[in-house]
């Protein structure tokens, strides 16, 4: 769908414009609560200034959205199948709107405390909650494979992310054991920029596709042509650009609070540790994106940081900060799902 066609559709169906505004705000929230994870280590180790890192994040978020949309849009399809929205198109759009409001409420509350929430899981829970509000337990009908992918994503981000970063950190320590410290630091300062760019790229590839999935899912309720012949969404280039710019704006507005929590408070990293955590997280995200598994970039990055910090010394990690993060992650599914459900019920009653 061309931008002009979408504009005409939104004018004809004003509720679609409301969906656009709400989804845009959710993307903005993702930018200030989730995207900063991608550049937290490169800033905390002073390999880049916050301003330069944010500019880099904006550019590579867009490149990630663009490249992964061309390679594989499986994540977009997975997200669109998290809830069963069968019913009247107007009620479908109202339910989607409610899910977005629930996500914003949840993410903003967590951001106020500087806790990096998983917008991926908030998005999934919000969609599911609003689908249940619309269709009861039938809102989960046929969503089993999609939810199984979410479970795989949690395992990848938690277990594999921690273990792989722990192992690679130990390997780097052995390889660079006899290398001059200043020379090693210069090498890893440059390598970290590559690692930070890779993380920003993969954040766009994962989270950008998720939010475009919701955007196109809502559009498909009143314009089925956005779904291609093979059942996959056809993602227009203007939507990729729009999502990337909104996400980048969010990062520039409120990113430093999350950068401080993840890159400074949780564990103090050396530059080689920052590189390892970025490289590990980006690699896991890349392969997850190829097979359509929606992985939380927040979980992936923070568990990678925990792994590389623990490899040096277990006490290097502030486990009190970790406990707060994990508690928020556990609450995200029921908390955000309930928000989406209650707001959807309210909206459906009012409208």
Question: For the residues of 173-196, what is the DSSP string, one character each?
Answer: HHHTTTS-HHHHHHHHHHHHHHHH
Helix (H, G, I), strand (E, B) or coil at 267: strand
Is the pLDDT at 166 greater than 90, yes or no?
yes
DSSP character at residue 225: G
**Which of 21, 31, 22, 133 has the alpha carbon at shortest distance from 83?**
133
Average pLDDT over residues 85-111: 82
| pLDDT value, residue 35 | 61
| Integer Cα distance of 199 and 184 in angstroms | 22
Q: What is the pLDDT of residue 295?
A: 84
What are the φ and ψ backbone dihedral angles of 86, each rounded to 5 degrees?
-55, 135
CA 66 from chain center: how many Å?
Answer: 16
The answer, yes or no, to whether residue 155 has pLDDT greater than 90, is: no
Q: Angle formed by the axes of helices 319-350 and 119-135, to 10°?
A: 30
Q: How confident is the model at residue 149 (pLDDT cuts 50, 70, 90)?
A: confident
Is 80 exceeded by the pLDDT of residue 116? no
The count of domains in the chain is 1
Q: What is the model's pLDDT at position 189?
A: 84
- Mean pLDDT across 172-179: 88
171-185 core/surface letters (b: 16 or more CB in 10 A; e: else):
ebeeeeeeeeeeebe
Give residue-wise pLDDT tens across range 201-237: 888 888 888 888 888 888 888 887 776 656 667 788 8
pLDDT for the residue 261: 56
Q: What percent of the chain has pLDDT over 90?
A: 4
User: Which carries the bigger pLDDT value, residue 279 or residue 45?
Assistant: 279
Per-residue pLDDT at 37: 67
Question: If pLDDT is split at 50, 70 and 90, which confidence band does 199 have?
Answer: confident
- SS3 category, 113: coil
pLDDT of residue 266: 54
The secondary structure of the chain in percent helix, strand, coil, rounded to multiples of 5, reads 80, 0, 15
Residue 308 domain boundaries: 3-350
Helices (H), 13-140: 14-33, 36-44, 50-71, 74-80, 89-112, 119-135
Q: Average of pLDDT values for 17-28?
A: 84
CB atoms within 10 A of CB 230: 7
Mean pLDDT of the chain: 81
Residues 278, 136 contacting (CB under 8 angstroms)? no
Beta bridge partners of 260: none
Q: Taking Cα atoms as reference points, which of 62, 69, 13, 19 lies closest to residue 236? A: 69
Distant-in-sequence, close-in-space partners of 52: CB < 8 Å, separation ≥ 6: none
Q: 229 Cβ partners below 8 Å, 6+ apart?
A: none
If DSSP codes are grouped into helix, strand and coil, which group holds residue 2? coil
pLDDT of amino acid 168: 92
Tell me the per-residue pLDDT of 286-330, one tens digit each, with 9 for 90 and over. Answer: 888 887 788 888 788 888 888 888 887 777 777 777 777 777 778
- Measured on CA atoms in the order 109, 153, 25, 97, is the torsion positive or negative? negative
User: What are 251-276's pLDDT values in tens digits?
Assistant: 777 556 656 555 555 556 778 888 88
- Residues 80-104, mean pLDDT to the nearest whole number: 83
Give the per-residue pLDDT at 56: 85
């Amino acid at each position: 769908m061309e931008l002009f066609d979408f504009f005409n559709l939104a004018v004809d169906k004003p509720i679609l414009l409301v969906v656009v505004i709400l989804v845009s705000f959710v993307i903005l929230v993702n930018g200030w609560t989730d995207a900063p994870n991608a550049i937290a280590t490169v800033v905390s180790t002073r390999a880049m200034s916050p301003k330069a890192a944010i500019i880099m994040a904006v550019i590579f978020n867009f490149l990630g959205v663009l490249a992964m949309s061309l390679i594989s849009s499986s994540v977009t399809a997975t997200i669109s199948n998290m809830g069963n929205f069968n019913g009247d198109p107007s009620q479908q759009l109202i339910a989607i709107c409610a899910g977005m409001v629930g996500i914003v409420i949840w993410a903003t509350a967590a951001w106020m405390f500087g806790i990096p929430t998983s917008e991926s899981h908030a998005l999934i829970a919000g969609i599911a909650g609003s689908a249940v509000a619309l269709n009861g337990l039938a809102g989960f009908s046929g969503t089993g494979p999609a939810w199984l992918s979410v479970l795989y994503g949690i395992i990848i981000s938690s277990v594999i992310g921690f273990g792989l970063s722990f192992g690679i950190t130990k390997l780097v320590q052995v390889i660079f054991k006899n290398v001059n410290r200043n020379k090693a630091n210069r090498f890893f300062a440059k390598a970290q920029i590559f690692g930070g760019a890779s993380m920003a790229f993969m954040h766009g590839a994962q989270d950008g596709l998720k939010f475009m999935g919701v955007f196109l899912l809502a559009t498909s309720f009143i314009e089925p042509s956005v779904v291609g012949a093979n059942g996959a969404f056809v993602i227009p280039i203007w939507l990729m650009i729009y999502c990337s710019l909104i996400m980048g704006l969010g990062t520039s507005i409120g990113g430093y609070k999350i950068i401080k929590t993840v890159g400074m408070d949780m564990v103090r990293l050396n530059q080689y540790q920052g590189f390892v955590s970025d490289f590990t997280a980006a690699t896991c995200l890349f392969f997850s994106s190829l097979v359509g598994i929606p992985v939380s970039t927040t979980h992936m990055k923070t568990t990678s940081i925990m792994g590389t910090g623990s490899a040096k010394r277990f006490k290097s990690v502030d486990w009190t900060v970790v406990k707060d993060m994990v508690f928020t992650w556990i609450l995200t599914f029921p908390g955000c799902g309930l928000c989406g459900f209650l707001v959807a019920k309210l909206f459906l009653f009012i409208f």
